[in-house]
A and B are shown apart, each in its own frame.
Chain A
Amino acid sequence: MCGIAGVFYKGPEPYGPLGKTLVDMCQELFRRGTDSAGFAVYSEPKADTYLVRVDLDPALFSEGDGHAVADAAGELVRVTDFKSAGHNVRLEVDSDADGKLADRIEDRVDGARVFSIGRSMEIIKDLGAADDIDKVYHVARIQGSHGIGHTRMATESRVDTAHSHPFWARPFPDIAVVHNGHITNYHKLRRHLELKGHQFSTGNDSEVIAVYLADRLEDGHSMQDALEASVSDLDGTFAYLVSTKDGIGLARDQFAMKPLLFAEDDELVVLASEECAIRKVLRDPHLVPRELQAKEVRSWLRS
């Protein structure tokens, strides 16, 4: 059991209280996943800027440390901003060095793990509840256009920050996935994607969904096509949300084993495993959330 949540603001000025909304929803879903929580948030992109989020091993780094990460990044790209909170470093840089930046940081700095690189996306995740994470990383202050969140109850892989959701589709900027369920053909799919040259950062089955979708999108498929193909290519149980710079997509397995609802009006779309999370942020009683059918896929994208 895990909890997933998503928010997508519509309209020409699609920026709202994204962080606060996702934290509130994930806190409401705490009982579905008490091990860890995390968020992929999309804020307004700045010209010539990539956002980098790096997690540092607390055994090797004390809080506020992490300038080594900026130094390593500085070998390849220009670092324009450096911030540190908890055991997390946030950089603003002028490029992702054609996908090489994450590898360089991890090669140079022992105990560093790159959680995300994107033009508008940042992944913030840690052990504990959504509220605890917000206290350290101030997720609720983030204004954004769309994002996804997760509360994790680990079943298949270890409980640590790296195995928490969302998963970045490394090295593709701005693509992340949150998943509730279990991918039973994980090893086969992973081998197939590794043969195509993709790399994996963890042993978590959900990471394969992110890489699988990024691979499809890179091959020129539309989001809708990638989602539809995933329903037959992924074996097991799943309700997942994928986010890209353009918006959010979702899919549900053929047995409808994992819950997922959405509610939508003219201004926003909210998605969650349970209605209580939707009601927490959307109290308009006239909006009726709907549970997705088996094999259903949907996407909300800005063109």
Chain B
Amino acid sequence: MAQVLAGTVVLDAEGLSTRAINVAIARLLAEGATDIEVLNVVGQHCLAVALKTQARIHFKGSVGWYAAGMNDGAHIVIDGNCGWGLAECQMGGRVEVHGNAGSGTSVSIRGGLVFIRGDCGARAGISMKGGTLIIGGSAGYLSGFMMQRGTIIICGDAADGLGDSMYEGTIYVGGNVAAYGADAVEKAPTDQDRDFLRTALKEFGIDADRLDFKKVESGRRLWNFSKQEPELWRSAL
């Protein structure tokens, strides 16, 4: 089933179930593989989850829901699209999707990098506790909701409710924002921000200087409840 090609182990997933693919990946990693290419994936769910490894796993096709969940160190590359819940609770490592992503991408990650070349569905990067999410295209409804730490870079547009009730962390948007969520505040990016964006996007072939980035942070007015601001709380809740 698997064959070694110049350091890269090729795994043909044609006709294999989620479990069979994950078991094969685990076996190859146990045998010391550091670079695995998985061919003929057709949207199977829960692929490459909970991997504690430094290896690179490259899916040549689209994966389904909950791919790369709880990733801890692996470099996971997906040439097609991914479904909902990519890299949920990632601890570290790196996930790259070169197509589009479904809803709930990079939810609650604590570290590492998640890169989406295309568009994301709703709720991208909600409740992030660290790490970086880079979206080459646009982000859907309520992205960055209740974000607690970390960075989201959206090169395209953001839909309604961006950064709603975020505690901390930073969102950068290169396109238009349909509407900000409760207590998300637009700020002017500093030179330091621009340097960071230039560096972060360069390796993905995106020229940060061609985009007019906005910086979004928490207004921190929802940190403590206040009876003096009933309108703020009514709209936030």
Q: Per-residue 0/1 for B25-58: is the Cβ within 8 Å of any A Cβ (1 yes, 0 no)? A: 0000000000000000011110000000000000
Whether, in the assembled complex, A274 has its beta carbon less than 8 Å from a beta carbon of chain B, the answer is yes
B140 touches A275 (CB 8 A): no
Q: Given the complex of chains A and B, what is the CA–CA distance between A151 and B64 in angstroms?
A: 18
Min CB distance B103 to A, Å, is 6
Which B residues, 131 to 162, have Cβ-Cβ distances below 8 Å to chain A?
140-142, 159-160
Interface residues on B, range: 20 to 34
Q: Given the complex of chains A and B, what is the CA–CA distance between A290 and B119 in angstroms?
A: 8
A288 touches B81 (CB 8 A): yes
B141 touches A288 (CB 8 A): no
A293 touches B141 (CB 8 A): yes
Chief secondary structure at chain A's binding surface: loop
Whether, in the assembled complex, B73 has its beta carbon less than 8 Å from a beta carbon of chain A, the answer is no
B100 touches A291 (CB 8 A): yes
A274 touches B64 (CB 8 A): yes
B159 touches A288 (CB 8 A): no
Whether, in the assembled complex, B219 has its beta carbon less than 8 Å from a beta carbon of chain A, the answer is no
B100 touches A279 (CB 8 A): no
Known: A288-B118, A291-B103. A274 touches B43 (CB 8 A): yes
Which B residues, 67 to 103, have Cβ-Cβ distances below 8 Å to chain A?
80-81, 83-84, 99-100, 102-103
Which A residues, 213 to 239, have Cβ-Cβ distances below 8 Å to chain B?
none
Known: A274-B65, A285-B80, A291-B102. A256 touches B43 (CB 8 A): no
Known: A276-B42, A276-B43, A294-B122. A259 touches B141 (CB 8 A): no
Known: A276-B43, A288-B118. A294 touches B141 (CB 8 A): yes
Residues of A within 8 A of B122 (CB): 255-256, 293-294
Min CB distance A181 to B, Å, is 14
Known: A255-B141, A259-B103. A276 touches B64 (CB 8 A): yes
B45 touches A276 (CB 8 A): yes
B160 touches A294 (CB 8 A): yes
Whether, in the assembled complex, A278 has its beta carbon less than 8 Å from a beta carbon of chain B, the answer is yes
Q: Interface on A for B, CB 8 Å cutoff?
A: 254-256, 259, 261, 274-280, 283, 285, 288-291, 293-294
Q: Interface on B for A, CB 8 Å cutoff?
A: 42-45, 61-62, 64-65, 80-81, 83-84, 99-100, 102-103, 118-119, 121-123, 140-142, 159-160
